Amino acid sequence: RPLPDKHHGLLDKEMRYRQRYVDLIVNPESRDVFKVRTKVINFIRSYLNKKNFMEVETPMLQVIPGGAAARPFVTHHNALDLDMYLRIAPELYLKRLVVGGFERVYEINRSFRNEGLSTRHNPEFTMLEFYQAYSNYTDLMNMTEDMLRGLITSVLGSLSVISTSKNREGEIIKEKEYDFSKPFGRMSVFESILRFNPDIDAQKLSQETAARSIASDLGIPLKDTWGLGKIQIEIFEKTVEHLLDNPTFITEYPTEVSPLARRSDNNSFVTDRFEFFVGGKEIANGFSELNDAEDQASRFSQQVAEKDAGDEEAMHYDSDYIRALEYGLPPTAGEGIGIDRLVMLLTDSSSIRDVLLFPHMRSE
C-alpha cells in the first residue's frame, strides 16, 4: 500500500492510533515517544534493583479482584468452572509476599479496569507497584522524590518538564513549566481544600452536614451513604486537583476512602497515605499499609456493604488476605505509579493513547 501523504499521516490521530505501524513509519516523533517509554521503565527497574528490590510476577487472573476500587473484567475458567477476574491491581498478592519474607518487592505490569475511555484512562494500563518492609509512607515520599528527579534528569537532561497546549493545527497556544529541582510540595487533603478555597470555613469542612452544603453549593452530586471523608474527597477533586501544577504530595486521605491504608496515630479519621500530583494529574498513590487483621476485616465488611448498596467499584471481602495478615505483615509501605501517565508527562502527550502502542478503540 502507498503511505499516506505527510499532512494526513501526521495529523489524523484516529488513523495513528488504529494503524500504529503506519504512524511509526511516517512520524518520527511518535517513535521517539515509545523510546522514552522504554527508557522510563528501564530506569525505574534499575533504580529499584540497586535498592535491593526483587522483581516478581503475580496473577493476572484472580478469583477476587482486590487492591483497588474499580470495576473488573469478568471471565470464566472452564476447567475449574470458576468465575475469574482480570486483575485491577497486584497489591494484595505483593503484600502476601512481604508476609512470606520478601521484604522489598516490585512489579511492572498490566492491570485492567472495565471503565470508561478518556485522555487519561485506558482499560488496559501499565503500573509499577512496590512494597518495602520496615518503612512508612514518608519514606516512600522521599524515595519517590529521589527516583523521579533521577528519572527526569536521565530522560530529559534537566529537572524542568515542559507542558504545552496546542490547537488543531498543532500550534502551541500555551506553555507551562514544572520544576522538579525544588522540594516537592506537601500538604494534607484538608489543608489543600482550604488553601485553594479561601471562602470555605475549616470548621464547616469538618462537619458532615455543613460539608454536604459546601459540596451542594459547588454543584457536586453526593450519595446519601457517603460520609464526611468521601465528601471532602469529592470537594478536593472538584476544586483542587486540577490546580496542582508543580510536583506536590497530598497527604492524610480520609480512612473512609482508604480501605487498605493504616490509620494515622494522630487522627483516626485519616490515614498515612499520599497521592502525588503534577500538571493537575495524579501520578502515584502510596501509603503505610494496614497490617491489623481485625481492622482490615472490618473495612472489607464495610466495602461489601457499600457494594451491596450499589457501589460497583467497592472491594470484595478477601478472607485469604485476612489470613495472611494474621500470620503477620511487618510495618510496610507500598506505592503504585502509573507508567502511562508518567510517560505522558515526560513526552508532553495530551492523551494516554499517544503513549500506548496499541490503544483500545471503538470498532471501525
C-alpha cell at 150: 533521577
Instruction: Domain 54-197+240-355: state its class.
Output: alpha beta
Instruction: Classify 201 in phi/psi space as left (phi over 0), alpha (psi -120 to 50) or beta.
Output: beta
Q: If you ran DSSP here, which 8-state letter would residue 4 be given? A: P
Q: Which of 337, 336, 359 is nearest to 349 (CA)?
A: 359
Its pTM stands at 0.94
Residue 11: per-residue pLDDT: 64
How far is the C-alpha of 250 from the C-alpha of 123, rounded, in Å? 26
Answer yes or no: are the C-beta atoms of 314 and 304 closer than 8 Å. Answer: yes
Predicted pLDDT at 273? 99
Q: What are the sequence ranges of the domains in the chain?
A: 54-197+240-355
- Whole-number Cα distances in Å, 61 to 58, 111, 364: 9, 10, 29
Cell numbers at 50, concatenated = 540497586
Determine the pLDDT at residue 173: 80
**Cell digits for 208?**
458532615
* pLDDT by position in tens, the chain (length 364): 878 776 555 567 888 899 999 999 989 999 999 999 999 999 999 999 999 999 999 999 999 999 888 899 999 999 999 999 999 999 999 999 999 999 999 999 999 999 888 888 899 999 999 999 999 999 999 999 999 999 999 999 999 999 988 777 677 888 999 999 999 999 999 999 999 999 999 999 999 999 999 999 999 999 999 999 999 999 999 999 999 999 999 999 999 999 999 999 999 999 999 999 999 999 999 999 999 999 999 999 999 999 888 888 889 999 999 999 999 999 999 999 999 999 999 999 999 999 999 999 888 7
Which pLDDT score, from 0 to 100, does residue 169 have?
Answer: 66
